[in-house]
Amino acid sequence: MTAKRLDFGARTFVMGIINLTPDSFSGDGLLGDGELTTAALDQARRFVAAGVDILDIGGESTRPGAQQVTADEEIARIVPVIHALAVADLDVLLSVDTYKAAAAEAALKAGAQWINDVWGLRADPQMAAVAAHYRAPVVLMHNRSKPGNADLQQRLGGRYVGMQYDDLIADVSRELLQSVEIALQAGIAREDIILDPGIGFGKTVEQNLMLLNRLDAIKALGYPLLLGPSRKSFIGYTLNLPPDQRLEGTLAACTIGVQRGADILRVHDVEPVVRLARMTDAILRSM
């Protein structure tokens, strides 16, 4: 299935997060919350009513210190939900949040159209071939996450400390372009590549703030840009707030992101961010 095209540059798009996990850092994981497919459909319909453009379905938490799950377990979580969303005719794009080729292929067969790979095609050598075969757009995220650099605090959650970069913006740009080269070599079309600077993944609080402020440098690489600051620890540690109190920080980060060139905002709080995107677009595009 070939995904419909988004007209990047015309407006800011919003991607709503559907976590099919028991251990999401944001506290919104649906696993264990009644019947999983029903809960996911209910959340998806709320997101669509709020104006979301893309639903991002994931079956494994990527928070610092999270427990990895097998591909089979991930597939068991995501495939029934993606199939239910696909046949529900919600008129939104469906993205699968996975770095495992087997899970991505199962999701695409079930009705997903995009792959959102938090390791930028580096974790599974078969992922690029899967994306190319199905002609699926891919989100390539920058990631230097290392469990040994994860600092976990009960109230504020996990953050990364002691992450070393020679030059943060140059290093992130170079490593993203390496992922782009993997994609192109595998036959993924240039127009099917979206970049994500990886806010919160292998970066300290200060590095996340700088990367967000310099997002225009990543946009200058020439690809559509996805930004995912939603409820993340750099907000929590800046404001000294737990995940369920980070809405205002998320909105501030999203506003700066749109100003700096973000094309897609990946968030938990869809309704306020859709409104923010529309208002920010109206201001920035006024003459």
List phi, psi (to 5°) of 198. 75, 45
Residue type at position 221: L
**CA angle, residues 188, 193, 194, in degrees to nearest 5:** 160
The bridge status of strand 138-141 relative to strand 157-160 is unpaired
What's the burial of 212, exposed, middle or buried (CB within 10 Å: 0-12/13-18/19+)? buried
Task: Note if 144 is an active site residue.
Answer: no
Alpha helices, H only, 88-229: 101-110, 127-134, 168-186, 205-213, 215-219
Query: Any catalytic annotation for residue 219?
Result: no
Query: What's the DSSP call for residue 3?
Result: P
- Active-site option among 203, 232, 246, 275: 232
Q: Which of 109, 266, 275, 285 is catalytic?
A: 266
So which residues are the catalytic ones?
232, 266
